[in-house]
Amino acid sequence: MDVKGASALISGGASGLGEATTRGLHGAGATVVIADLNAEKGEALASELGERATFVEANVMEEDQVKAAVDAAAQADGGLRISVCCAGIGWAERTSSKRGPHNLEYFSNVVKVNLIGTFNVLRLAATAMSGNEPDDQGERGVHVSTASIAAYDGQIGQTAYSASKAGIVGMTLPAARDLAGRGIRVNTIAPGLFDTPLLAALPEENRQALGAGIPFPSRLGDPAEFAHLALAIVENQMLNGETIRLDGAIRMPPK
């Protein structure tokens, strides 16, 4: 898929890994539609990028809002051909503790946002992509989901988060098979420890310790490295139905 001249939808695209991906796709020549709940950050990023950048306020759980973002990308120059879903939340709680059982509502919310929200974006984006004219290799679009190494190496207290991210990994191949006949690829990135706003809140000593635990390179990942992989997936047509760990060879301990 040629990034230049295509329209891209980035859900959760106003901060962290999503912001880096928005910048990367825009820098490569795509028209970007930033879909995010944070209107202040989203509008500021779109304004900074200027031409070929639009912000649409959207909750990945709300069908009408995601449809509006998909429509905006589909109507942009080049048509919607790239979708990257970076929206997600986390929650830490043990399955059972002195306080009692894990809060079921919190578990459900994490799964709804991370897994069902990702599927919501995927199904609506793929439907819009199906109407595209195929390129000279028969391709109509590509979707990239964001999982986590917690899908494989979930730590103590990560049952909800790990379950939601494992679900994203699990649906990648069947979704790719579903959409193969339409010339739409589906892949997933499972990032490790990245220097995102979530980790920025930690003391520098803790941040350094987290980075030192990564075999090589022994540092936190740069969101631009996530964006670089997302672009590589978009451009490499043979990558399909795959989940790629981006983690510096770390395997997370129990805690």
Q: Which residues are catalytic?
A: 161
> What is d(CA 16, CA 197) in angstroms, rounded to the nearest whole number?
6
Residue (of 25, 21, 57, 64) closest to 41 by Cα position:
57
> What is d(CA 197, CA 34) in angstroms, rounded to the nearest whole number?
18
Place of tokens 């339409």: 182
On the CB side of 212, how many CA atoms lie within 13 Å of its CA? 6
Categorise residue 78: left if φ over 0, alpha if ψ from -120 to 50, beta otherwise: left
H or E element at residue 245: strand 243-246
Q: Characterize the bridge pairing of strands 96-97 and 100-101.
A: antiparallel
Contact present, 144 and 24 (Cβ < 8 Å)? no
Count other C-beta atoms under 10 Å from residue 27's C-beta: 13
Contact present, 42 and 19 (Cβ < 8 Å)? no
Contact present, 52 and 30 (Cβ < 8 Å)? yes
H or E element at residue 8: strand 7-11
